Amino acid sequence: MTKKQNSFTSNLYIFIVMAFMYLPILVMIIYSFNDSKSRGAWAGFTTKWYADLLQNESILTALWNTLIVAVISSVVATLLGTAAAVGIQAMKKRNRELIMNFTYLPVMSPEIVMGVSLMLLFVMFGVDFSLFTVIVAHITFNVPYVILSVLPKLRQMDKYLFEAAMDLGCTPLQAFMKVMLPEIMPGIISGFLIAFTFSLDDFNISYFVSGERAQTLPVLIYSMTRKRVSPEINALSAIIFVVVLTVLIITNLNDVRKEKQLQKGGRRG
């Protein structure tokens, strides 16, 4: 009986946690179909915000900017970060610790400090603010996250694997591509995803380094607060949520299928 009770409380606990995380999103999606600008009162079902969204050039431009910045900055940060991690791993202990402290610094310091200092830097060197400066800034704050997620994988890896591959005739490049890369791939992918999400919803830094021509979505939404945030933003957020959810479900289903195939193959063999 105690067991039953236990499973009931743990289910309840999971339910509460899930509700806490997903209820706001659910409410947002429901209100994206609300036939009024109100965020409180329900005035009937409509899809007009979705239609308006497709017409609203400033939101679409901001969305496009945000996606460009997120993709470019996370890809570049992943390349730089992975290379850095491999290099750091190969360092002597003292140097490694020194570099790692520098890596932690941007992660630990408040974003606003990063934002202001990057802005001052760009002003000092006379760089014109544009999407380019935003991308550079995002790469800067993304690299440490990639390093931090790749390093543990490198540490877990058997360091003799790389040497063994070379002994068996691989060039260093081949050894890296064929042996090391597959081993640390999960770390790289999670680093990339972290970088991508951080870049997608960054406000503080983008706010300081975006120029007069390009603003990202978070900066645009923030500027709507004197009037009221337009329900088109609810519609957009709902679309983004559904897209992300679908991608996640598809990858998960794929994984499950692969695992099943592996199990089947194993049994046959």
| Residue 27 binds other proteins, judged by CB under 8 A | no
For other proteins, which is the closer residue by CB, 94 or 226? 226
d(CA 11, CA 92): 49
Q: What's the maximum distance between 2 C-alpha atoms anywhere in the chain?
A: 72
> Which residue of 39, 155, 257, 260 would you call a contact of other proteins, by CB under 8 A?
39
| Residue 208 binds other proteins, judged by CB under 8 A | yes
Which amino acid belongs to residue 269? G
| Residue 224 binds other proteins, judged by CB under 8 A | yes
Minimum CB separation of residue 95 from other proteins in Å reads: 36
Using the Cα atoms of residue 102, residue 147, residue 79 and residue 212 in order, give the sign of their dihedral.
negative
For other proteins, which is the closer residue by CB, 69 or 150? 69
By CB under 8 A, what part of segment 117-176 binds other proteins?
119, 122-123, 129
> Which residue of 55, 93, 125, 160 would you call a contact of other proteins, by CB under 8 A?
55
| Residue 64 binds other proteins, judged by CB under 8 A | no
Minimum CB separation of residue 204 from other proteins in Å reads: 13
What are the distances in angstroms from CA 79 to CA 56, 139, 142, 205? Answer: 35, 10, 11, 21
- Residue pair 192/128 in contact (Cβ under 8 Å)? The answer is no
Cβ count near 24 (within 10 Å): 10
| Residue 226 binds other proteins, judged by CB under 8 A | yes
> Which residue of 222, 257, 258, 262 would you call a contact of other proteins, by CB under 8 A?
222
Which amino acid belongs to residue 258? K
| Residue 58 binds other proteins, judged by CB under 8 A | yes
What are the distances in angstroms from CA 8 to CA 14, 21, 107, 175? Answer: 10, 20, 40, 52
Nearest to 217 by CA among 70, 112, 74, 33: 70
> Which residue of 230, 234, 235, 238 would you call a contact of other proteins, by CB under 8 A?
230
d(CA 170, CA 135): 37
| Positions that interact with other proteins (CB under 8 A) | 36-41, 43, 52, 55-58, 119, 122-123, 129, 208-215, 219-220, 222-230
